[in-house]
Structure 1
Amino acid sequence: MTDYSQQPNPYGYQQTPMYPPVMPVMPQMGPPPHLLANQGLRLVARILDTVFLIALVAAVVLPLILVGGENSVTGAIAIAVILGALVLYEPLQTWRFGATLGKRICKLRIVRLEDGDRLSFGRALGRYGSQFLLGIIPLVSLLDDLWCCWDRPNRQCLHDKMATTVVITGTW
């Protein structure tokens, strides 16, 4: 019987078995550290988005209330506008523009962790949905928002981890 491990291979070097098997080194997934968004800018963007959302809802709902009074149809429309704004403000903008208005002002973008591309509408909706669900639980909502302060290497909040997204700096 021939011992093939001791015979030279066609490339001119001797093959020896590797024990234990060596795991291949995987490239780091995610953007380079200098592109990651600053936590302070993320906070400013969130505050701006909250102000814009309140202004949007007020601009639509206040005239309905003033014109309709205590009409139940007007109240139902107002509630629908509020819920629609809450549910669609962030996912639509994230999908269409790569960021909400507040993040665009702060020159931040939300991208997929694996390749840096823009989010699909489904992923943007899932990201917002996970953020909304985490926000319902009082201490978990605080933990979600602060998670990017100590997360390494990608400075992700918990909702970013759930949606496999990352917030980066970018020019507009």
Structure 2
Amino acid sequence: MPRCAATAIDLVIAVAVILVPLVGLDRMLTGAGVADGDARAIWRTTAALWVAAFLLLYSPLSVSRWGATPGKRALRLEVVRFTTGERIGYGPAVARHLTNLVVTGIPALCVANVSSINLGTDRRGIHDRASGSAVIHRR
């Protein structure tokens, strides 16, 4: 269950990193007296760009650069190339992350993914298989 705990840590970080700046922007727009319609448009555009940037950078950049997200690092887990044990690059890390987002959003695939991670002999999820990666425990 360390992978689940690592995901929980990363979700707490994600909520903080995404929401805190957006709440601050909302307060700034309100305080600056920006018209409601304009403020909503600015906020929505900024929110969409901020969330997209976070999704494309946080996990893929962390995994390709340091071998793990902060949550995985805290629990001594590392994402590596399944065949060689080396760190994966940014492209495979993006593929892994986007596949994971899709799989998590479809209940049947989510159940299959969790089952594969917990019951499979190689402990690899659908997103790991799609990107040629594996999660290992560093001692």
**Is the TM-score greater than 0.5?**
yes
Q: Tell me, yes or no, if structure 1 residue 65 matches structure 2 residue 1.
A: no
> Where do 5+ consecutive residues of structure 1 fail to align?
1-39
| Partner residue of 2:130 out of 154, 157, 162 | 162
Higher helix share: 2
Q: Which amino acid aligns with 2:89?
A: S
After TM superposition, the score normalised by the length of structure 2 is 0.87
- What is the alpha-carbon root mean square deviation over aligned residues? 1.3
Q: Which residue of 2 is the match for residue 120 of structure 1?
A: 89
Corresponding pairs, count = 131
**Residue 130 of structure 1: how far off its partner (Å):** 1.1
Q: Give the structure with higher Rg (CA).
A: 1
- C-alpha distance in structure 2 between counterparts of 1:52 and 1:146, whole Å: 26
2:135 counterpart SS class: strand
TM-score (norm: length of structure 1): 0.72
Mapped partners of 1:127, 1:102: distance in 2: 16
Letter in 2 for 1:132: L
Match in the other structure for 1:29: none
Contact 1:113 1:166 survives alignment (8 Å):
yes
Partners of 1:101 and 1:133 in 2: how far apart?
A: 22
- Mark the runs of 5 or more structure 2 residues left unpaired by the alignment: 31-35
